Structure 1
Amino acid sequence: MDHVERSLEGQVAQAVDAWLRWLPRWEPATHRGRVAVCRRCLGSPVLSAAGLGTDVPHGVAHGLSTRIKTIVDHAVAEYTSRNLPMLQGELDQQTERNRARSYRPTEGLDPEFEGMPLDPEPQPGAPFLFTLGGMADEAAAVVPPLPPLSDEAKAALRQEVGLADEYANMIGREVCTILLGHRLRIQAGVSEFVEPQVTALLDELTRSLDSPFDATE
């Protein structure tokens, strides 16, 4: 595990470095917020370990949580390929199915957008003619389903999935422990690049509420 820990430490440091390089480009969203919550970020132990609470804008937190999730996903993928042949076979088949899809809008996204909803919330009374999510679902529907598994194969697959989940939880806990050591520089980045923009946005909102009508008009 020592080699794994050293590897994780380097990967987490690189992920935080990349997030800090992106942070100066963040700007507050001016569009209408979504009703749905982000399942990746809501109650995330990664964000808790990083010291990013609910007062930090979601776009800022999402960019870090996605980068850390990628580290965990890669570690689990390596463990699966070495130790869980049946699960790996199922994943390989699913990969081939995905490649057969003609439209894959969720692939190749920057970490700040990965896992985010494909489409904005519709305006009341103005439905979309089409959505990216709907087009992706249509493309997935034309791919033939996977062949059925026997009861024995299902039981063996469930066991391997359980082992993969246990490993993912172990790696996740280790990553969170490592993140604690990066809290100060994460919070310094938020203080330098995020908080001034949020404060300016709140000040502007306060002025507009205090003076809802422009006296010059």
Structure 2
Amino acid sequence: MDVERSLETQVSQAVDAWLAWLPRWEPSTHRGRVAPCRRCFGSPVLSAAGLGADVPHGVQHGLSTRIKTIVDRSVAEYTALNLPMLQAELDQQAARNRARSYRPAEGLEPEFEGLPLDPDPVPGAPFLFTISGLAEEADADIPALPPLSDEAKAALRQEVGLADDYANMVGREVCTILLHHRLRIQSAIGEYVEPQIEAMLEELTRSLDAPFDPRDPPIG
């Protein structure tokens, strides 16, 4: 029961934080990405929250990232208490990450966490450099982790499976809790998101109905 109450509090606080951010959201005007977001596409969290495909991705991502943080934190606590091999491996990886001189994906706001670091390339216009490329160069300077024996690999795989099972359990519980927040989530979407989308559609309709500025000189 303590875990359930803790999760309820964390989810409520995450939704509160997302609702506080939502009035600052504005529709994106840059070119959309070809690949869907792996964190948000088909997410049961978004389904539980009632954020369907008709809701802009930026709005979805801000909530799904906050909820993912809750699940990750719960799994980290479970791992530290019950899975020593996996914890040791994670500790080594964390130390390796701290040794990197360039860590552009760390410390981002939830609305940007997990998104690609660079925009999609434009055909015929290659980048001089990319943030991802610079990060990979910094990563290449750090020594690789020591190899594991076959026995250690098997034991580690077993602990990873247990961590995955626990993550799925916490995820299902979080989705159940989110169902209780759907009304206020939907209310906020109606207040802050839908009017902006409707305004964009109206502007698009006007531009299609009158593709030329009446002040432009006649063609020919």
Q: Give the drift of 1:125.
A: 0.5
Partner of 2:171: 172
For structure 2, list consecutive stretches of 5 or more residues without a partner in the other structure.
none
Q: Give the drift of 1:141.
A: 1.1
Deviation by residue 1:17-40 (Cα, 9 ceiling, x = unmatched): 000000000000011111111000
Partner of 1:153: 152
Alignment identity in percent? 79
- 1:1-217 superposed matches below 5 A: 2-217=1-216
For structure 1, list consecutive stretches of 5 or more residues without a partner in the other structure.
none
**Structure 2 length as normaliser, TM-score?**
0.97
Q: Distance between the aligned counterparts of 1:95 and 1:175, measured in 2?
A: 27
**Structure 1 length as normaliser, TM-score?**
0.99
Q: Structure 1 runs of 4+ off > 3 angstroms? A: none
Find the residue that maps to 1:40 and give its secondary structure: coil
Q: Give the drift of 1:209.
A: 1.0
**Structure 2 counterpart of 1:160, one-letter code:** E
Query: Structure 1 stretch 180-189 or stretch 205-214: which is displaced more?
Result: 205-214
Q: Distance between the aligned counterparts of 2:128 and 2:62, measured in 1?
A: 30
**Structure 2 counterpart of 1:131, one-letter code:** T
Tell me the matched-pair count.
Answer: 216
Q: Distance between the aligned counterparts of 1:61 and 1:195, measured in 2?
A: 14
Q: Give the drift of 1:142.
A: 1.1
**Structure 1 counterpart of 2:158, one-letter code:** Q
Deviation by residue 1:82-108 (Cα, 9 ceiling, x = unmatched): 000000000000000001111000000
Deviation by residue 1:175-212 (Cα, 9 ceiling, x = unmatched): 00000000000000000000000000011011111111
Find the residue that maps to 2:111 and give its secondary structure: coil
Q: Distance between the aligned counterparts of 1:168 and 1:44, measured in 2?
A: 14
Deviation by residue 1:45-73 (Cα, 9 ceiling, x = unmatched): 00000000000000000000000000000
